[in-house]
Amino acid sequence: MHNTKALFLRASILLVAAIFNNQPAQAGFTSEENTTSTLEHWQNPSVFRINKLPARAFYYPVTNEEDAFTREPWKQTNYQLLNGTWKFKWVNAVSRAPQNFQTVDYDDSQWDDFAVPANWEVNGYGSPFYHSHYCLKPNTEQIELPLTYNPVGSYRKIINIDKSWDDNQIILHLGAVKSAFYLYVNGQNVGYSEDSKTAAEFDITDFVELGKNTIAMQVFRYSTGSYFECQDMWRVSGIERDVYLYAAPKVRIADFHAQTTLTDNYRTGVLNFTALIGNRTTESAKGYRLAIELLDHNNVKIASTSININNTEKNNDSEVTTQILVPNASVWSAETPYLYQLKMALVNGDGEQQEWVGQHIGFRSSELKGGQILINGQAVLFKGVNRHEHDPVSAHVITRESMRKDVELMKAFNINALRMAHYPHDPYIYYLADKYGLYVMDEANIESHGIGAANQGGAYDPEVHLVNKVEWKDAYIDRVSNMYHRTKNHPSVVMRSLGNESGDGVNLELSYDWLKQQEPNSPVISEQAQLRRHTDAYGQMYASLEQVERFAKTKQDLTRPMILIEYEHAMGNSLGNFNEYWQLFERYPQLQGGFIWDWVDQTFAMKTADGRDFWGYGGDLEPPFAITAKSFSANGLVYADRTPYPYLWEVKHAQQNIGFSLSKASNLAIQDGQGSGQSTQVEIRNKRFFKNLSDIELTWQLLVNGDVDESGDGLILSAEPQSSQIISIPVVAIQHDGKEQLLNLQARLVRAQNLLPEGHIVASEQISLSKLPMPIAAAEKGTNRLSVSDNEERIQLSGKDFDLVISKTSGLISSMIFAGDQLLSSNVNKPVHPNFWRAPTDNDFPQKGYGDQFGVWQHAGSHTELTSISVQKVSSQNTKVLIEQYLPAVESRYFTTYDVYGNGTIDVDVYFYAAPHKRRSYLPRIGTQFVLNKDYQHVAWYGRGPHENYIDRKSSAFVGLYQSTVSELEVPYVRPQENGHRTDIRFLSFVNSKGNGLKFTGLPLLAFNASNFDMHEFDSSEMQVSRRNMHPTDLIEQDHIFVNIDYAQRGVGGTDSWGSKPLYEYTLPWLDYRYQYRIEPVRKD
């Protein structure tokens, strides 16, 4: 991928403007006088497939038994992989597409060499653009396809057909082509296809000859299919998945369905098998049979049968069926992904095995029953994510290594379900989901969001929407059929979605009915249907906690569950109140979990002019005038390179399948101050549905004031699914003043399984064994004398190896010297001042009135007016300085008391008085900013960590002793914003390379941030965000450190990123606040 913007802007800016700036299209059918007979195929909604083979299950037919289950068929003699270099010509309009390019003798020597698969726009041909829902241009209600800017890519490739393929049926497989294309072979028009996310297969037997052949394609960026593909993703074009030829016998297995279920109380596996035998010979096929074997995962034969195939007429198909029962079957689930091997051989009349097909199958049932979706009879919880196909270099061309990495991370972070947002994904990831255990919601490639979506308000008119237009009906069902057939043999696909934000109406109802005709019991979801008849779950998006609980409590609909098919919008610094959702899901049986939006950032690896790396988002790759949704493309749980964001740890903790708590007896004893006796009893709750805990070992650590005091391992667990057991930990909880006891528990895998290594931590918890709150330690006064100098300009307090100066003009600390070192920066005017501001998060900005109301806090702490300042001598070792300040921005008062001791200890008492008659908005934070000398880069703290955490996202961050550097505390969100916070801090210190510095102690607790960057350089208003694309590389590292010592900071929220606030308990209302902390010098021993 080219890493400069210039290469992305190869298309003519003037031509692109017609699309991005909402200019009228120059051609297309937009009025009644345009009849379908006068339209090109790519303009006609009734034309979406010409000469395509029917949709089928995805599998690789081969010619030998040993390779029946291969995932790399290219090594077989009956396959030819066509990935690689093709000749390529790109033009920016249909009218400029080359003519007669498909002919064998066409001269393509001046064409470019271009890779397949690859997207054009990230390789210098045209411009990608990002938007969350627009199809071609903003608010397009009419179906208008442009000619002025509709790029066309023409492809040519010379291939060779070996003589060994003679007398075979030759099929061309194109895994994904966006958005529509014509196929030519040796100059002849073979066919046409739309639906850019499912395979198009063509029988080209009659078009090829032995030896050299010319394959040509003409691909359109925009077609009527584009109005089904208005998904929240980068709009790019081209061939996106594998292209290959395969040779099959002319009597072949054209398709099969290995439908499984369970009977006899979910103990007996049932395989209902159907195969379609195709005959493309010139005579009836006689004497054929289909030999079937079912083997377990150890290759032990479980069952076998042979089905005689009745005479199959020439150019016709025959259907054969059988049923296999497996008593006491090992069932497939995401927890126990047990796969059987189904092997098929097509045997001709001479007894020759001429074709082999292998398919891994799993015995499982999926059904709507009793108001819940049951997997193998259990109402499982879907701990899911939405996943787009995205690569930071190649866009929508995804490698198998990347897919495997995704599945590995999902398993590692307790994600058990995957919604294929918003189209069928590469077949390989379904194979991985089957093998390693993920519940899949497959989804049809249907989203017409740019024309309007139901249940969202705005400009949605069902009367003019595609979903209610008869001429679009067949295209809806075709896309649903394509989705269904390709994955119908995958046990991981436990439910299907009719699409996303596609409007609601008769065409979706017909699509639902079609799916139910195929598999009556298999759940079908439509978010757009809400609680109408054509959905088997209430597939809500971004429902608030209140709405979710109301559905469960009021029993609004007892016939089906609620599943949040999108929730917790992970844009920027987000995913607050995630735990609260999972508390509801586990409390109410009719709530069956949800799918976080979303898995991976849709950003691109780019470089600045001076070579620094950054993540490009909407607006970085498009022309300057393009309408874009900007950093809305960055809302993943992982960066585009699959590096986890800090909040992925919160997902892992909230969704872990093991719960830990003190037994009632131990808990009562500790709270009564009696300790825990001879040991501590812990209740272990197995939240799995199908698997006991015998594969789990429990390890533990006892922390005393953060240090490991005792530890143990080797405790093998045994609780059955949905049951509990009591474990005795040989730890005695004893109440000690000033000593905090914390019990850390980790559940680890005894052996490797499903991509996870031996010893992998599947669940963890921290349990306090101390009676809270802990007593506050008294200040160590020492015997050092304290001298005080008080003049008109300043108050100077000096003791042994320290010196403190407070300005009498501002009432703020201006100098702090310990052990001869100046701790505060001398390059700023006010190195210590109250702070009420944080750099707004992506969730902050859309909140109503945020810019107007919260903006007053940005400089409220640095623009103060001194009201009074006084000195009170307590003793020769101790003096108090009392300060009152007025905050003009919020018309309130701020009181600070510094209780200073001769040994350098300073107890700080802060009181913010919120004038009740001057009510302002809630506070972003309340605390004090210290601007430290650059030397104090080494940070240690006793509090929550090691990763970033906030008051509404901290359950996964355990209390402990941690060390870091300032730069390591920072989180480089794609669009710079508030980051790096830590909560529940007992104490923290900043020291230089000599080991000297200062320590802050909470009385009782603090929160803090530390950064090398000034948060006032970050975006502070929506206007700034709209006018510029900011990245971490745009920030200038300062020559000092910004340390915020906070009473608290508001939560980050997460319900959505377009107006929902953090939960009330995680906000800072307009109230009075008081808090205390201590400052002490740190000297290297």
Q: How do 180-185 and 243-248 pair as beta strands?
A: unpaired
CATH number of the domain where residue 683 is located:
2.60.40.10
Distance separating alpha carbons of residues 277 and 304, to the nearest angstrom: 19
Among the listed residues 1034, 1043, 1055, the one whose alpha carbon sits nearest the alpha carbon of residue 976: 1034
Distance separating alpha carbons of residues 577 and 549, to the nearest angstrom: 14
Q: Is the domain of 496 the same as that of 421? A: yes
- Residue-wise burial string across 360-374, b where 16 or more C-beta atoms lie within 10 A, e elsewhere: bbbbbbbbbeeebbb
* Residue 635 in tokens: 């809302």
Low-confidence stretches of the chain (pLDDT beneath 70): 1-37, 137-144, 147, 458, 668-677, 737, 772-779, 848-852
The pLDDT assigned to 204 comes to 99
Q: How many CA atoms lie within 13 A of 129 on its CB side?
A: 24
Torsional class of 503: left (φ above 0), alpha (ψ -120 to 50), beta (otherwise) = left
> What residue type is 661 in one-letter code?
S
Q: What are phi and psi of 122, to 5 degrees?
A: -95, 10
Residue 225: inside a domain:
yes
Among the listed residues 1020, 1007, 1018, the one whose alpha carbon sits nearest the alpha carbon of residue 974: 1018
Q: Is the domain of 200 the same as that of 307? A: no
Distance separating alpha carbons of residues 825 and 818, to the nearest angstrom: 13
3-state secondary structure of 395: strand
Q: Is the domain of 241 the same as that of 278? A: no
The pLDDT assigned to 854 comes to 86
Q: Is the domain of 264 the same as that of 200? A: no
Q: Is the domain of 750 the same as that of 801? A: no
Residue 12: inside a domain:
yes
* Residue 295 in tokens: 């083997």
* Residue 617 in tokens: 């988002």
Q: Is the domain of 535 the same as that of 665? A: no
Q: Is the domain of 319 the same as that of 392? A: no
Residue 367: inside a domain:
no
Query: 580 an active-site residue?
Result: no
The pLDDT assigned to 20 comes to 30
The pLDDT assigned to 674 comes to 61
Which among 194, 240, 566, 765 is annotated as catalytic? 566
Query: How many helices (H) and strands (E) in the chain?
Result: 12, 58
Range of the domain at 178: 5-248
3-state secondary structure of 10: coil
- Of 248, 268, 303, the domain-final residue: 248
Query: From start to end of 126-187, where are the E strands?
Result: 129-131, 152-161, 169-174, 177-178, 180-185
Distance separating alpha carbons of residues 568 and 938, to the nearest angstrom: 34
3-state secondary structure of 729: strand
Whether 354 and 249 have beta carbons less than 8 Å apart is answered as yes
- Of 361, 395, 412, the domain-final residue: 361
Which among 389, 443, 501, 580 is annotated as catalytic? 501
DSSP 206-260: GG--SEEEEEEEEEES--GGGGGB--SEEE--EE-S-EEEEEE-SEEEEEEEEEE
Q: Is the domain of 760 the same as that of 794? A: no
Q: Is the domain of 675 the same as that of 804? A: no
Under DSSP, the state recorded for 839 is P
The pLDDT assigned to 6 comes to 32
- Of 186, 218, 248, the domain-final residue: 248
* Residue 288 in tokens: 């054929």
Residue 419: inside a domain:
yes
Contacts for 880-883 with beta carbons within 8 Å, 24 or more apart? Answer: 881/795, 881/797, 881/806, 883/806, 883/811
Residue 615: inside a domain:
no
CATH number of the domain where residue 531 is located:
3.20.20.80
From residue 945, alpha-carbon distances to 393, 984, 998 in Å are: 33, 9, 20
The pLDDT assigned to 315 comes to 85
Q: Is the domain of 504 the same as that of 642? A: yes
**Residue 538, Cα to own-chain centre: how many angstroms?**
22
Q: Is the domain of 242 the same as that of 295? A: no
Q: Is the domain of 342 the same as that of 421? A: no
Query: 1022 an active-site residue?
Result: no
Residue 220: inside a domain:
yes
Residue 461: inside a domain:
yes
Residue 607: inside a domain:
no
CATH number of the domain where residue 1065 is located:
2.70.98.10
Whether 720 and 686 have beta carbons less than 8 Å apart is answered as yes
Number of structural domains (the chain) is 5
